[in-house]
């Protein structure tokens, strides 16, 4: 059987394809939307793997490249954001030209990049993250915390080698308002693929320290650079933090999700430092104003009550003098009554003694007479002697009783230097109430002394 097939070398087929594509597509470019699945840089040239998906299934793949000179031009037009746009997982809008090489095959040569699609994806991701945080009840957790009046202990998260990090520390420690801060640093990358894990880990570690606030700073950057702070993992860690978080990401336009869920956010790291020390300054000013107001009110009250105090003082002096005078009169009345009672007691004792003496004398006389009439004369003399002795002993006893009564006379005792002490008009020896703090009245021959019992020592 004769073989009629026409067989071509592969090189010839590729040259044919190369010519066809060159003739039909060489002067044309196409704007293509695709997802970057892989990106490599070599000697300034960028090599990308692109893909397209539908309903979760990949429906197209192709390689693309961007040469060094083109990359520099486009990157400059995009203010240096092209590096962050060329990341795996980003959706991009590319201006491409179709090229075919006999060895390397079909490729797309990237001529330009429109970042709007990528930015749109960022906003889409941002909204999705916010919605997820709201659904999980995390969105407003930080707003329920509170800051102390003076923030002194700070956990600082950021990259120490960046200008924003240094600006924060410089502003915090060199201002003229308040610098007595204690800063615990938690270094973390704030850009690139490692940033998410390192920032999350730093926030977690800060929870283990006694700090008043967590400060997260970054010294500005492009929209793509800041996209890391739209990540759900970082936003969730900030929202769940038991310590208030203040962000100073360093942008002046769009907020990132980390700003939105944080307790407070400022435009720059320097602004965060100003917020902290100005808060301390405002509190100190309010405290000083309050102190001045208290002093003013206190001085007014002192002046207001000074006259009343003087009046009360004079009244107390007068009242005390009147009270002492009344007590002195009362003590003199008591002394007079004691003297009368003593005299009455002496008279009663003297009368009783005389009565006993007369009775004894009569008894003795009757006894003697009886003996005289009934017994011998001799015993009479003995009885007479005995009677005289008895009379003499009774006379001496009566005199002793009189001297004792004179000695026990309260007026005599007072004149000899003895005193009479009473509490509530009860002899202090017989008083059974509480002694400490009691009013003690001490009567001397010429004075009534009123004192307060400060201590009691048992003898």
Selection from 194, 193, 223 nearest residue 82 by Cα = 223
Q: What pairs with residue 51 in β-bridges?
A: 35, 61
Residue 183 is predicted with a pLDDT of: 94
Among 84, 349, 357, residue whose Cα is nearest residue 223: 84
Given this model, what pLDDT does residue 378 score?
60
Residues with Cβ within 8 Å of 374's Cβ and at least 6 positions away in sequence, in order, are none
47-103 pLDDT per residue, tens: 999 888 887 788 888 889 999 999 999 889 887 878 878 887 788 888 888 888 877
Give per-residue pLDDT as tens, 370-400.
766 666 556 667 767 787 888 888 888 787 7
- In angstroms, the first-to-last Cα distance of the chain is 150
**pLDDT of 458 strictly over 60:** yes
Q: What percent of the chain has pLDDT over 90?
A: 23
Q: Which fold has domain 125-267?
A: Rossmann fold (3.40.50)
| Higher pLDDT, residue 300 or 201 | 201
pTM, to two decimals: 0.50
pLDDT > 60? residue 106: yes
- Distance, CA of 81 to CA of 225 (rounded, Å): 8
Q: Which two tokens stand for residue 404?
A: 């004792």
**How far is Cα 355 from Cα 269, in angstroms, rounded to an integer?**
118
- Find tokens 């926030």 and name the residue: 203
Mean pLDDT score of the chain, rounded to an integer?
82
CATH (residue range 10-114): 2.40.50.140
Give the pLDDT confidence score for residue 380 in this predicted structure.
61
Two tokens, residue 70: 């083109």
CA dihedral 70, 71, 75, 80 (to 10 degrees): -160
Beta strands in 169-209 (DSSP E): 182-187
What pLDDT does residue 431 have? 81
- At 291, list the tokens: 């102190």
Calculate what percentage of the chain has a pLDDT beyond 70. Answer: 88
In this prediction, residue 212 carries a pLDDT of 95
Query: Region 166-178: what's the mean pLDDT?
Result: 91
State the maximum Cα–Cα separation within the chain, in Å, rounded to a whole number.
210
Task: Tell me which of 202-206, 271-275, 363-367 is least confident.
Answer: 363-367
- Residue 61 pairs in a beta bridge with 51
Task: Name the pLDDT band for 206 (thresholds 50, 70, 90).
Answer: very high
Top mean pLDDT of 10-24, 106-120, 155-169, 224-238 is at 155-169
């Amino acid at each position: 059987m004769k073989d009629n097939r026409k067989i071509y070398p592969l090189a010839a087929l590729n040259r044919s394809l190369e010519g066809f594509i060159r003739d039909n597509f060489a002067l044309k470019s196409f704007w293509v939307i695709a997802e970057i699945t892989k990106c490599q840089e070599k000697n300034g040239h960028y090599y990308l793997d692109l893909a397209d998906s539908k309903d979760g299934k990949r429906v197209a793949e192709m390689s693309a490249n961007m040469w060094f000179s083109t990359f520099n031009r486009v990157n400059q037009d995009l203010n240096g954001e092209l590096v962050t746009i060329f990341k795996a997982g980003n959706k991009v809008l590319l201006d491409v030209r179709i090229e075919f090489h006999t060895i390397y095959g079909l490729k797309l040569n990237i001529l330009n990049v429109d970042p709007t699609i990528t930015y749109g994806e960022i906003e889409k991701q941002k909204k999705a993250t916010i919605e997820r945080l709201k659904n999980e009840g995390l969105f407003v957790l930080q707003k329920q915390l509170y800051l102390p009046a003076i923030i002194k202990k700070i956990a600082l998260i950021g990259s120490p080698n960046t200008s924003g990090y240094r600006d924060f520390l410089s502003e915090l420690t060199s201002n003229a308002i308040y610098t007595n801060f204690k800063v615990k640093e938690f270094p973390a990358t704030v850009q690139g693929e490692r940033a998410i894990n390192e920032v999350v880990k730093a926030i977690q570690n800060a929870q283990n320290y006694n700090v008043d606030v967590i400060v997260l700073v970054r010294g500005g950057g492009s929209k793509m650079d800041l996209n890391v702070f739209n990540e759900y993992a970082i936003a969730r860690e900030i929202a769940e933090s038991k310590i208030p978080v203040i962000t100073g990401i360093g942008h002046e336009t769009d907020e990132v999700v980390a700003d939105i869920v944080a307790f407070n956010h400022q435009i720059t790291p320097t602004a965060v430092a100003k917020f902290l020390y100005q808060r301390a300054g405002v509190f100190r000013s309010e405290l000083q104003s309050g102190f001045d107001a208290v002093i003013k009110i206190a001085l007014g009250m002192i002046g207001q009550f000074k006259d009343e105090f003087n009046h009360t003082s004079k009244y107390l002096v007068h009242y005390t003098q009147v009270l002492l005078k009344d007590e002195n009169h009362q003590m003199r009345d008591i002394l007079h009554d004691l003297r009368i009672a003593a005299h009455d007691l002496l008279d009663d004792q003297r009368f009783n003694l005389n009565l006993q003496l007369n009775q004894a004398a009569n008894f003795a006389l009757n006894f003697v007479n009886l003996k005289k009439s009934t017994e011998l004369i001799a015993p009479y003399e003995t009885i007479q002697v005995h009677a005289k002795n008895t009379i003499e002993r009774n006379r001496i006893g009566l005199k002793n009783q009189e001297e004792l009564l004179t000695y026990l006379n309260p007026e005599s005792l007072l004149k000899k230097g003895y005193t009479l002490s009473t509490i509530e008009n009860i002899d202090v020896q017989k008083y059974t109430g509480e002694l400490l703090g009691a009013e003690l009245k001490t009567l001397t021959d010429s004075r009534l002394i009123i004192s307060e019992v400060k201590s009691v020592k048992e003898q």
